[in-house]
Structures are given as structure tokens and as C-alpha cells.
Amino acid sequence: MFLPRPRSGASRRRLLAHTLIASAGWACASAALADTVPSAAPPAAAAPAAAAPQETVTEELIRLLAEHNALSKDDAAKLIKRLQDEQAAARQPAPAAAPTATAQQGAAPAPDVKGRVRVIYLPESEKQKIRDEVKQEVIATAKAENWALPNSFPEWVKRLSFYGDLRLREEFDLYDSQNNPFLINFSAINTGAPFNVSQTATNQPLPPLFDTTVNREQPRISLHVGMDAKVADDLTASLRFSTGNNVNPVSTNQTLGNDFNKYTFVVDRAYLSYRPLDGLVLMGGRMPNPFQSTSMMWYWDLGFDGFVAQYHYELTDDLRPYATVGAFSVENTALDFPQTDSVKVGSRDKWLFAAQLGADWSVADKLKGKGGVAFYDFYHLEGELSSPCQAPTSAFSCNSDDSRSAFMQKGNTLFAIRNLLLQQPTDPQFQYFGLASPFRIVNAVVNLDYGLGGPLHLVADADFADNIAFKKGHVLSLNPVNNYGGCSGSGCQAPYIGGNQAYLVQVRIGYPATIERWQWAVTGGYRHVESDSVVDAFNDPDFYIGGTNAKGYHLVGNLGFTHNAWFSARWFSGTEIAGPPLAIDVVQLDLNSRF
């Protein structure tokens, strides 16, 4: 038989497989029909010597498939054995029928006087059955080894799943005309050279300042693309890329307008999830927020770097308690600090140790709840006063410089962390700034979901936080540089009025999620976040343009316009709790999509 030579191994396997399927049926049918041909030799003639069995075309094709690794050797041997057995069975004469039933059953008669032998004819249905059985065995082997299905994906592709979302935004930042124009951007100082705070310096520029008076409009995009890979039944690897940068941990927004240049795409998630037991999940890497919370405590887009264990237990059909514990690396300080000094300072790494206990429960037929109490202990997050230090220029370092906060939004109480030695009162005073209070936060959060009938739900959230490590006397002893109250009259000493508690309440009515056209939801809420109640670096960057020491309300409306796409309008209005006047409204018009 002539076979055209395929151009590739995969094509060769497919051609051989199809040839095998067709030839198997042809060979079986031919073997059965061969026995119906009359014998040409006279009955009295001596039988010739038995010829050595020769390999059939079908057997040869099976061996070729095995040689080209399209079939395993064991499978090929089994197919050949089965083919030989079926051919032998087809050549066997039918057993003699009982005399009384010969006519009715149509049994084969005895040989006639001319010596011809007649056997039962193999029906077409039996031949087709043999073809189908051989075909099914070949296809099963092909599926198991992924070599004869040209439209099928490799097995590893089935273990991957992809997801993403894209948001287009027009944002308006609106400032009150009575705002204080001298709001210092301490984060800009801490991420650059120290600033000279000397009051006697000549030609001294102002420190970096926030915009608090000029309204601003910003077109923005936010993109996330993620993948989950099922490594094993109990192990998943997750990866997500996003817009944004490696400076701001709470935002993946990218402001448009870069001379049509390209934008940064960063690794936003990279973690493993392991489920060794039913209800237990262990995670490690850079992961999403593992705690129940609102944006008052943690912004929803914030990533956590570290390790987490979560356990859910189904106590009853209506009550499912859970526990979450974790350790997270907030900042890993340099080993060679200070770089310009031969005497190095030990690393002062910053960590977050956290635990949360809570439960999901069905309160009533239409009312479901979820709540938890968490304890967040930040280690080495607060600033540290240095040893006596001389820094005649901005190039000099002091031994507590790495205790300053690398990223802040605004609101937390700060103090100057360098204990500078001055030769003259007019000497420059190059300073960095650190958090004045430690942070050990007790946080309680509750979510209630009530079904109104049909698809509509009424959802309420309540969140409360108390920084139990805040001590007003300790903060005052450090001579803080912000969060003072108003003062009037000569010689007046403005009082320090920082605080350590925060709360948020909000209500949402509408569809649980805006997935389809005309699905809608409206949310309204109020919050009061004192200066040192939570860490200002990690909470909501939209309300008050981020940070603490603010109070106010927010309104959000969503409306779906097609599948997995919706419009949203958001309005945040906040004012200061302590310090000079600062009122900020933020309006965001979004076009959201998920895929």
C-alpha cells in the first residue's frame, strides 16, 4: 500500500491512525468473506503443507504506530492479539445444529457431493461492529496521549484560567477656596533628599506642598490581567499584572497624557494557594487582602506581601466561623545602611502581624450576615529618634533614617527623627520625618445582606477601628509637626488634637452586582477617621484624595449597559478633623468592564 509521506510527526500520526481505523474494518470483513469462496482443489487431493503465518496489513499498521510512538508497545500488542483472535473466530465453522431445528434456524448443510464447504455469511452489521470497536480503542488511546485530536488543546492549557478588568475614568478634584495653601507633602521629602527646616536659612525654598486650591481634571485608566494555574488538585499559582507603579501601593490608576508614550505594567499579584485540608487555605507571596474589611482600613486594591493561613468550619447549616492569621513584610530595609558610613546599622525591617476571627451566618430566611474582629500589630512602623547626629549637608545620614515612612498619603501625626547637633543656631537642619505613634489596631466590621424580593438587596456595612497603641502624651513628647488645632491671639499655643478612632457606615440598595444591562445599585455612606486611627498609607485613596484626619460622606451609583460592563458615578466630600481648613470633593465618572 502506498502512503504519502507526511510533513510532520503529528501529521504522520493522524494519517496512520485514520488508515488503521479504515484498514481494520476492511481486514476483518475480508477475512470473513474469504472463507465463503469455493475450494478449487478436488476433495481427494492431499492437503499442502501449512504455510508460515504472514503479518497482515492491519498488523503492520499497528506496529508502525508503535514504532512512531503513536501507540504504546503494550497497546499495540493488545490490538494485534485481539485482531488475530477475531480473525480466527471468523474462520471457525459454525457448530452443527440439532436435526429438529435445522430448517427453522437456517443451519449450514453438510458438504455436498462436489466437496464444496459452505459457512455462515458475516452480516454487514457484525463487520461494522468490529470496525467501531477497533476505532473506539484507537480514539481512546489518542485522547489519552493527545496525538490524534488536531482541534484539541494540550492538557496543561485546561489547567489555566484567565480574568481581567479595564476601567476608564474622568476624575475631578475640587478644592474649597478657604483651604490652607501650605499643606506639606512629607512623603515627597522622605522619598528624596532631607529638607532643611532651619528658620534662619537664606534663600530657602518652600518644602514640597500639596495642591489644595486649584481644581484639577484627570483622565485615567486602570487595567488588571490575571491568571490562575492549577498546579495540582490542592495547589494553585496565581499571577496578576496591572497598570500603576511601584511607588503608590494603593492605586493602579494611570493618568493619561504622556506625549502618547507607553505606560508601565507591573506585577501586582504573585502567590501560591495550598489546600491541604477541607476548609484550610495556606497562601504565600503577594496576595489580595485576606481580611474582611472596608476601604476605611484597607483599600480594596492593596496587595499584601507575606504568608496567611485561613480556616473555615461549617458549624451548622446556618453558621460558618472562620479564622485568619498572617505575617506580612511591610518594608525590608537595606543591609548596607548608611551607604556613606563605614559603621553600618542593623536592618530595621517593618512587619505587620495580623489575626481575625469571624463568621458567616444566616440570620433569617432573607437575611445573611458576615462579621469579624481583627487585631493588626505593626512592628517598627513608627519613626525612631536618632542618636546625636551631624548632617551639615543633605548627603549625610543619621542612624534612624530608615525608620521614616517611605510612602504616606496624609493625616498621620509626624515628628522630625534626626537628633541634630548644631555648632551655630544658623547651621542647616536637614530632616526626615517618621510616624509619631505606634499602630496596634483593633478593628470590628459587620456586613448584613437583606433580600428585598426578586433580585434586589439591601446591604449595610459598619466598620470601627481603635489604635490602642496611641498615647497622646508620648506623641506630644516628640514635638509633632502637624495635627494642631486653631489658635488666635498673640502668644497662643495651638493645642495638639490628634485622635485614634475611626468609623464608617454605608448602605447599598440594588442588584448585588451590575452584570447585565439595566442592573443598578446606589450606595451612600459616612465616615469619621481621626489622625492616627489607621495607617494613612494603606486606606482609601479616593475619599479626601487619601489618608486620615478627615470626615465626610460618599455617594455611588452603578448602572449596567451591557453584559459585564457598567457606568458608575462617585462623589466623595471630606473636610479636616484637626488642623488648618482643608475641604476636598472628588467626582469620578467611570466606564467599567470585566472579562
Q: Residue 23: is its pLDDT beyond 90?
A: no
**Selection from 480, 501, 468, 478 nearest residue 577 by Cα:** 501
DSSP result, 490-520: TT--PPB----EEEEEEEEEE-SS--STT-E
Estimate to the nearest angstrom the gap between the alpha carbon of 216 and the chain centroid. Answer: 33
439-497 pLDDT per residue, tens: 999 999 999 999 998 899 999 999 999 999 999 999 999 999 999 987 766 667 789 99
Name the more confident of 143 and 402.
402
Mean of the pLDDT values across residues 171-195?
Answer: 96
The whole-number average pLDDT for the span 214-233 is 97
Give the per-residue pLDDT at 96.
53
Which pLDDT does position 144 carry in this prediction? 67
**For the chain, what is the mean pLDDT?**
86
Read off the pLDDT band of 85 (50, 70, 90). Answer: confident
Kindly tell me if the per-residue pLDDT of 560 is higher than 80.
Answer: yes
Three-state DSSP state, 80: helix
The yes-or-no verdict on residue 1 having pLDDT over 60 is no
What does the pLDDT read at residue 114?
53
CA proximity to 254, closest of 327, 169, 339, 188: 169
Q: What angle do CA 139, 141, 142 make, to 5 degrees?
A: 60
Could you read off the pLDDT of 508-536 as tens digits, one per residue?
999 999 999 999 999 999 999 999 999 99
Per the DSSP assignment, residues forming a β-bridge with 326 are 308, 354
Return d(Cα 458, Cα 452) in angstroms, integer: 7
Of the candidates 196, 190, 206, the one whose C-alpha atom is nearest the C-alpha of residue 391 is 196
Beta bridge partners of 238: 228, 271
pLDDT digits (tens, 9 = 90+) for 323-373: 999 999 999 988 878 777 777 787 789 999 999 999 999 998 899 999 999
Closest CA to 579 of 210, 196, 191, 298: 210
Q: Per-residue pLDDT averaged across 534-546, rounded?
A: 97
More confident residue, 186 or 148: 186
Q: What is the pLDDT of residue 474?
A: 97
In words, the CATH class of domain 162-594 is mainly beta
Comparing 93-102, 265-274, 305-314, 478-487, the range with the smallest average pLDDT is: 93-102
In this predicted model, what pLDDT tens digit does every residue of 31-62 receive, in sequence order? 444 444 444 444 444 444 445 556 676 777 77
Q: Which three cell numbers stand for residue 68?
A: 512512531
Q: Which of 12-26, 31-45, 416-430, 441-455 has the lowest mean pLDDT?
A: 31-45
Segment 93-148, tens digit of pLDDT: 655 544 544 444 444 455 554 555 555 566 777 778 887 887 787 777 766 665 65
Task: Give the pLDDT score at 15.
Answer: 47
